Amino acid sequence: MLSTLLVVLPIFALIFAGWLARRIGVLGAAATTELNRFVVFLALPALLFDVTAHAHWSAIWKPGFIGAFGLSSLAVFVLTVLIRRGAGRALADAAVDGLNAGYANTGFMGFPLALVAFGPEALAPTTVAAILTVCGVFAVAIVLIETGLRREAVASGRGGESRRPVWWTVARSLVRNPLLVAPALGALVPSAGLTVPEAVATFLKLLGGAAAPCALVALGLFLAQTRHTGGGQGRTAALLVGLKLALHPLLAYGLGHYLFDLPPLLLHTAVLMAALPTGTGPFMLAEFYRREADLTATVVLASTVLAVVTVSAYLAVIA
């Protein structure tokens, strides 16, 4: 419990810093949007490029682990999207909800927890989980969000979109999206046998290192604003948190143990990564695309608080 709490405390400290800065007037009303745009257009693309450009694919190629964690993440994401669409949710909003349930905080919490729980041997599969999360599930969500937005534009006739096929406007938006372009370009570096120059690598580390803390501060800024909670949001948040903290790790365990027959280290690492709370990615997208961010903020906070108990319980069981 203590090791998990020590990892989670800095997350709350950063959220509180943003909340306090807004409450005492250090940062104004526009700070949430502007800080989030910095993350989306600069810091996070740098991080994604850095991750894929420095990935040692031969060392982290673990098909069973990829299957267990990747398929469980994608299954929870798709299931959530279908549930929310069935409830009348727009496709773009349902995609954000899918991320709320399937996007684990592998980057900010995964590495320190894996190191504490399983030692240095768990860092390679944790890297795989981070890549699958930030470059895989995230990319699928962006595609669905863009598709949903273009369909809305076509239906309303805004911007002349009705004169163009939906697939054309979606494809055009995707190739201009830095969150997809950056990891794709980064993957070309090791594929072509190239290396990132030291000065460029330092630049990427400095800029990419700002992604997670700035996103958490932006979350705190958002929470400090006057919020109008919609009816039934508590039940929806509970559903999404339950899918994230219960269904996701259960699926990862089932796939890893029964289908892929993973060795203990890979199995427990996959389950630990799946049991992590919702990361800040869904909030960044909700804020960036001007979708409903209140629900996402609630899910991020609630899942992070509850994960202190659930993750600690899991680690105690397998100890």
Q: What percentage of residues in the chain have a pLDDT greater than 90?
A: 39
Residue 130 phi, psi (nearest 5): -65, -40
pLDDT of residue 65: 96
Q: How confident is the model at residue 160 (pLDDT cuts 50, 70, 90)?
A: low
Q: What percentage of residues in the chain have a pLDDT greater than 70?
A: 91
pLDDT of residue 279: 87
Residue type, 77: F
pLDDT at 209 over 60: yes
pLDDT of residue 203: 95
What angle do the packed helices 138-156 and 71-86 form, to 10 degrees? Answer: 30
pLDDT of residue 93: 94
Which residue blocks in 161-292 are alpha helix, DSSP H? 166-175, 178-191, 198-208, 211-224, 233-242, 248-254, 264-275, 281-288
Distance in angstroms (rounded) separating the CA atoms of residues 236 and 246: 15
Q: Average of pLDDT values for 208-224?
A: 85
Q: Average of pLDDT values for 228-237?
A: 75
Q: Average of pLDDT values for 148-165?
A: 69
pLDDT of residue 156: 73
The per-residue pLDDT of the chain, averaged, comes to: 86
* Dihedral over Cα of 122, 103, 108, 202: its sign: positive
Q: How much is the pTM?
A: 0.81
Q: Average of pLDDT values for 21-45?
A: 88
pLDDT of residue 29: 82
What would the pLDDT profile of 98-114 be if each residue is shown by its tens digit? 999 999 988 778 887 88
Q: Average of pLDDT values for 274-279?
A: 92
pLDDT of residue 158: 63
Distance of CA 23 to the CA centre of its chain: 27
pLDDT at 178 over 60: yes
Residue type, 279: G
Q: Which residues, listed in sequence order, are joined to residue 104 by a DSSP beta bridge?
A: 278
pLDDT of residue 106: 87
Q: Average of pLDDT values for 36-56?
A: 85
pLDDT of residue 199: 95
Distance in angstroms (rounded) separating the CA atoms of residues 185 and 183: 5
| DSSP summary character for residue 26 | S
Query: Is there a contact between 112 and 7 (Cβ–Cβ < 8 Å)?
Result: yes
Most confident by average pLDDT, 6-10, 45-49, 213-217, 245-249: 245-249
